[in-house]
């Protein structure tokens, strides 16, 4: 990747009307602000539909788009919905926080109304979309329609015949749920149309989109239901092993994620066909793809499905470089970022080197006086992406406040900034990242804004208040945009056309 910089901000965190960030006029304004600030990238989180817990990393589909991101105001302008109808729905009163319960109720009610008025079956563009995306869309729409028929229950709790996809059951539910199936296809058509237009606007203005592809899919997903042969399931379509991470200094029980694990032998037998489709689809949505949990392709942590913690798991070999060589042979060279955070074994480091992908460096992991971390900028090579923090970390301000005495002293000495007022030191860390040799620098929006714990996106392995933070439309003032531009200029990260 080129020497450049960008900002990390989830679509859901954008300011917009009706409760959640979406593909609205505020998203276009955000792209304008990125351009004015001299940025080259907008990094976002997965655009997938969210399920229980509202995490974009636990989705009903690894191919579908999130219906929440469809801009209702555009549907009002098109005359499909009315402003009165949208304004009458309660999406929550706090503009800084997403109320997912109200979003779920209100958005789908309005989208169903839009579908009923759409005459979508007469739209040629819709039929073309369905035909081109049928390889995932047909199973996804049926999955969601049947899920609704069973009161939202996970597919493992459905009737045996449709759970195991017997032909007569598939035929029955296709007939019985035909309108609901078409509704979910219509929603995906709207999503793709609006996102395609927004992404095109970004690209026209010199902004590339960095998207995020989770390594695993959720068990309760169209992926797992439609293609159980891809996963480590028993004859009853139940996982016999699930994903997670082993115990470490931060978690005595480790992390039990619960995602189904892949049958890598089967994937290799099919020449990684499902992966090729998934990655290819990701690059229709994004310009650059960050692959989550990269070390899981070298070795993955396998936990017996009946365990309550991750303590009794063990490591097994993943596909290694074979997967990525086959993907390149099928799809050509692609811009991929490897999320290689965490404990690095020699084999993971070798996989990263063999792939040629840039890895990640996070400044919040750098300042441990007892361990000369590889995340310190003087150790970087060019082929990496530096972040102050990610969506899983504390904001820079929150992190610095929480540093112990020794770590803070070490950071002060490394950066020679003891004379700088504490409330301004977050800018020194941003400057350090921007001035580093890393080809690409991505700064979370919260860090540019100097926000504290109230702006943290996610606290891993917890449920509750994650994924809810939203930016205020007045936060990115002209003065801040100019300051970011000046720093981007002096660190030689401006787009070529801006020089």
Question: 84-93 pLDDT, tens per residue?
Answer: 999 999 999 8
Answer yes or no: is pLDDT of 456 > 60: yes
Answer yes or no: is pLDDT of 443 > 60: yes
351: its two tokens:
């996989």
Q: Report the percentage of the chain scoring pLDDT > 70.
A: 99
Answer yes or no: is pLDDT of 40 > 60: yes
Answer yes or no: is pLDDT of 497 > 60: no
Answer yes or no: is pLDDT of 498 > 70: no
Within a domain: 325: yes
Between 28-32, 214-218, 339-343, 484-488, the lowest mean confidence (pLDDT) is in 339-343
pLDDT of 263 reads 98
Number of independent structural domains in the chain: 1
Q: Give me the half-sphere count of Cα atoms (radius 13 Å) on the Cβ side of residue 137.
A: 22
Single pTM value for the model: 0.96
Within a domain: 272: yes
pLDDT of 288 reads 98
CA 33, 35, 37, 42 torsion-angle sign? positive
- The CA distance from 83 to 287, in Å, is 34
pLDDT of 98 reads 96
Within a domain: 303: yes
316 pairs with which residues across the strands?
300
* Among candidate residues 154, 350, 337, the one with its CA nearest the CA of residue 258: 154
What does pLDDT average to over the chain?
A: 95
Answer yes or no: is pLDDT of 343 > 60: yes
- Does residue 339 have an active-site annotation? yes
- The CA distance from 206 to 498, in Å, is 10
Candidate list 161, 292, 299, 322, residue with the active-site label: 292
Average pLDDT over residues 309-317: 96
* Among candidate residues 404, 426, 423, the one with its CA nearest the CA of residue 415: 426
Within a domain: 310: yes
Query: What's the pLDDT band for 251 if we cut at 50, 70, 90?
Result: confident
- The CA distance from 405 to 410, in Å, is 9
Q: Which domain holds residue 345?
A: 227-357
- Does residue 124 have an active-site annotation? no
Could you tell me if 242 and 256 are in contact, meaning their C-beta atoms sit under 8 angstroms apart? yes
Average pLDDT over residues 150-164: 97
Within a domain: 177: no
Within a domain: 218: no
Within a domain: 168: no
pLDDT of 229 reads 98
Candidate list 73, 208, 298, 339, residue with the active-site label: 339
Could you tell me if 471 and 9 are in contact, meaning their C-beta atoms sit under 8 angstroms apart? yes
pLDDT of 499 reads 39
pLDDT of 330 reads 97
DSSP assignments along 19-43, one per residue:
SS--SSHHHHHHHHHHHHTT--EEE
Quickly count: other Cβ atoms within 10 Å of residue 122's Cβ.
8
| Radius of gyration of the chain, Cα coordinates, nearest whole angstrom | 23
Q: Report the percentage of the chain scoring pLDDT > 90.
A: 91
Between 44-48, 262-266, 367-371, 423-427, the lowest mean confidence (pLDDT) is in 367-371
Answer yes or no: is pLDDT of 387 > 60: yes
Average pLDDT over residues 348-357: 96
Within a domain: 47: no
Candidate list 26, 322, 392, 428, residue with the active-site label: 392
pLDDT tens digit string along 44-92?
Answer: 999 999 988 899 999 999 999 999 999 999 999 999 999 999 999 999 9
pLDDT of 164 reads 97
pLDDT tens digit string along 195-238?
Answer: 999 999 999 999 999 999 999 999 999 999 999 999 999 999 99
């Amino acid at each position: 990747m080129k020497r450049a910089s960008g900002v990390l901000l989830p679509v859901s965190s954008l300011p917009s009307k009706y409760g959640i960030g979406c593909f609205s006029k505020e998203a276009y304004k955000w792209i304008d602000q990125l351009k004015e600030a001299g940025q080259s990238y907008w990094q976002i989180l997965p655009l997938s539909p969210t399920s229980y817990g509202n995490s974009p990393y636990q989705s009903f589909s690894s191919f579908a788009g999130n219906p929440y991101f469809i801009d209702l105001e555009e549907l009002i302008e098109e005359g499909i919905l009315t402003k009165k109808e949208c304004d009458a729905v309660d999406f929550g009163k706090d503009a800084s926080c997403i109320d997912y319960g109200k979003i779920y109720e209100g958005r789908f009610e309005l989208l169903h109304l839009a579908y009923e008025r759409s005459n979508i079956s007469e739209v040629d563009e819709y039929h073309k979309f369905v035909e081109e995306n049928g390889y995932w869309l047909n199973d996804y729409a049926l999955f969601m329609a049947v899920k609704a028929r069973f009161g939202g229950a996970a597919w493992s709790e459905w009737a045996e015949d449709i759970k195991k996809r017997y032909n007569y059951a598939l035929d029955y539910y296709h007939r019985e749920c035909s309108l609901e199936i078409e509704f979910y296809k219509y929603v995906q058509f709207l999503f793709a149309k609006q996102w395609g237009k927004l992404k095109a606007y970004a690209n026209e203005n010199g902004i590339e989109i960095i998207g995020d592809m989770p390594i695993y899919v959720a068990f309760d997903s169209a992926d797992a239901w439609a293609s159980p042969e891809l996963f480590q399931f028993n004859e009853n379509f139940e996982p016999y092993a699930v994903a997670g991470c082993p115990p470490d200094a931060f978690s005595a029980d480790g992390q039990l994620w619960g995602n189904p694990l892949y049958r890598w032998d089967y994937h290799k037998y099919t020449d990684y066909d499902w992966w090729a489709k998934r990655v290819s689809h990701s690059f229709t949505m994004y310009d650059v793809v960050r692959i989550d949990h990269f070390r899981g392709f070298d070795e993955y942590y396998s936990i017996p499905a009946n365990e309550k913690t991750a303590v009794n798991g063990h490591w097994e070999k993943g596909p290694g470089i074979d997967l990525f060589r086959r993907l390149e042979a099928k799809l050509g060279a692609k811009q991929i970022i490897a999320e290689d955070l965490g404990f690095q074994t020699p084999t993971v480091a070798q996989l990263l080197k063999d792939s040629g992908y840039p890895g990640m460096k996070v400044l919040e992991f750098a300042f441990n006086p007892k361990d000369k971390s590889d995340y310190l900028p003087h150790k970087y090579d060019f082929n990496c992406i530096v972040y102050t923090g990610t969506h899983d970390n504390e904001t820079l301000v929150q992190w610095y406040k929480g540093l112990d005495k020794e770590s803070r002293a070490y950071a002060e000495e490394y950066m020679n900034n003891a004379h700088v007022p504490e409330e301004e030191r977050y800018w020194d860390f941003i400057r350090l990242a921007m001035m580093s040799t890393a080809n690409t620098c991505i700064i979370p929006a919260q860090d540019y804004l100097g926000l504290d714990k109230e702006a943290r996106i996610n606290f891993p392995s917890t449920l509750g208040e994650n994924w809810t933070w939203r930016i205020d439309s007045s936060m990115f003032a002209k003065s801040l945009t100019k300051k970011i531009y000046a720093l981007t200029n002096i660190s030689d990260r401006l787009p070529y056309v801006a020089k």
